[in-house]
Copies of this chain bind each other. A is one copy, B any other.
Amino acid sequence: MTSRLEDLSPPGALLGAVNAEAIGVEIYGLIAELFPICRSVAGDGVRETLRRMQRAIPLTIHEVPTGTQVFDWTIPREWNIREAYIRNEAGERVVDFRHNNLHVMNYSVAVRATLELAELRKHIFTLPEQPDVIPYRKSYYEPAWGFCMTHRAMLALPEGRYEVVIDASHDDGSLSYGEYLHRGALEDEVLLSAHICHPSLANDNCSGLALLALLGKRISRMQTRYSYRFVFAPTTIGAIAWLARNQHETSRVKHGLVVTCVGDGGGPTYKKSRRGNAFIDRVAAHVLRHAARSPVVLDFSPIGYDERQYGSPGFDLPVGVFQRSLFGTFPEYHTSADNLEFVRPEHLASSYRMIGDILDVLEQDFRPRSTCMHGEPQLGRHGLFERESPGGAGAASNLAMLWVLSGADGQTSLFEIAERADLPFADLLAAARRLQAHGLLEADGAAPIVSA
């Protein structure tokens, strides 16, 4: 085994180097397919979602039976819903699950009753400050039922009696999650995870599911340095179930990302792993800094997504979160406005590229050693020096080469040089490949760089 860059992937086969238009459209297409499905913490919705994703990525679907103890938690019953509506005295459905699955509080118990408006309203949830959107609401761990609707529609309901029907079942069954392991040259793994439990919310998290599925499709066809593990699981309990079933293999995870809300135009936002100084944290901060005008890098906190579980003290895996707008900060968050209009192919493409750039550092980083460490090499003699630069050696093409040569002491990795130079890793990688091709650079040692 060797760390020469070219051995594992041909020059140019960078995950961050993609046809942005094509990949954006492809991710968007998958989102559109997943969007209408009514998912929940467990049930057919998740299963159907995983099955459709299997067309892109060779997922294994795991089933964890209801009642299974996973650490402090117990796998709940499946929730499956057939129909749900509120019907007025005229027999008209004033709210209908068929129009939008957000209309039913997720995981509602079944109900079939006729109620006065006043009584019904206790079970109706709206957003008075956003009177035209339906809120997303769930009640996984307390038995309850409810409907969600726009505030305006709720106000328009006349007094009277209403028939309410939620034809749903809570049955023993299993919680489903999808997993795919791509084997690379190393057993060391990169964990890529997205939550799969939300119903029709496009950004949160059809976008994460679709992006990772298509990234996985691409990776599955490549030879990589790292192994890549993709996990698509219901938030919190799904991640905990995965951790419980893989407790003794998690030490293979050297880097990881939770991927969610990647289709809007905000951010990008990176939230650091619990370790706070993991290699992935440095790499993500570096990539975002060079990819966007105003990236946001947040410290870890125990509020968020499944990085909370991966980073729980018993595991402390180096897993951060990649998002565009930070969850909870955009008005569309957890409402019917998080729909297929809200996510855009161009934002999906740029998210894909940033995640690819991050993985490219993991894949391509190595410790270059200059073959000419004493003084600079005479780049002009090697045909490598761009003469026509104002101010002498200042041309950008020269600058990247000079940084690589200056740092290439065999102990410093190319990524560390990129951090110091404050230049994109990809630029230094291109320069390194050029120098290597001219015999001025070699990779140091046989083993790829894996942070402890």
Contact = CB atoms under 8 A, between A and B. Distances in A.
Contact of A313 (B239, B313, B316, B407): B407
B274 A406 contact: yes
A249 interface: no
Contact of A408 (B313, B373, B391): B313
A19 interface: no
How many copies altogether? 3
B312 A375 contact: yes
A316 B409 contact: yes
B407 A72 contact: no
Interface in A379-425: 380-381, 387, 391-394, 399, 402-403, 405-410, 420-421
Contacts of A405: 302, 312-313
A268 to B, nearest CB: 20
Contacts of A421: 301
A316 B410 CA distance: 13
A247 B308 contact: no
A22 interface: no
A371 to B, nearest CB: 9
A29 to B, nearest CB: 30
A240 interface: yes
Interface string A304-327: 000011011111100000000000
A328 interface: yes
A308 B376 contact: yes
Nearest to A399: B303
A447 B99 CA distance: 62
Given A141-B381, A328-B391, A313 B72 contact: no
Of A236, A302, A372, the most chain B CB neighbours within 10 A belong to A302
Nearest to A372: B72
Given A373-B312, A376-B72, A303 B387 contact: no
A370 interface: yes
A406 B311 contact: yes
Nearest to A247: B374
A374 B407 contact: no
Nearest to A382: B72
A377 interface: yes
A72 B312 contact: no
A110 interface: no
A73 interface: yes
A313 B394 contact: no
Contact of A72 (B301, B316, B375, B409): B375
Contact of A374 (B71, B142, B375, B409): B71
A282 to B, nearest CB: 17
A406 B328 contact: no
A14 interface: no
A312 B408 CA distance: 9
Nearest to A315: B374
A313 B387 contact: no
A378 interface: yes
B302 A381 contact: no
Given A73-B375, A73-B381, 4 more contacts: A301-B421, A303-B392, A303-B402, A314-B374
25 contacts: A72-B377, A72-B381, A73-B378, A73-B381, A141-B378, A240-B376, A243-B375, A244-B374, A244-B375, A302-B376, A303-B393, A303-B394, A303-B399, A303-B402, A312-B376, A312-B406, A313-B370, A313-B407, A313-B409, A314-B374, A314-B375, A315-B375, A316-B409, A328-B391, A328-B394
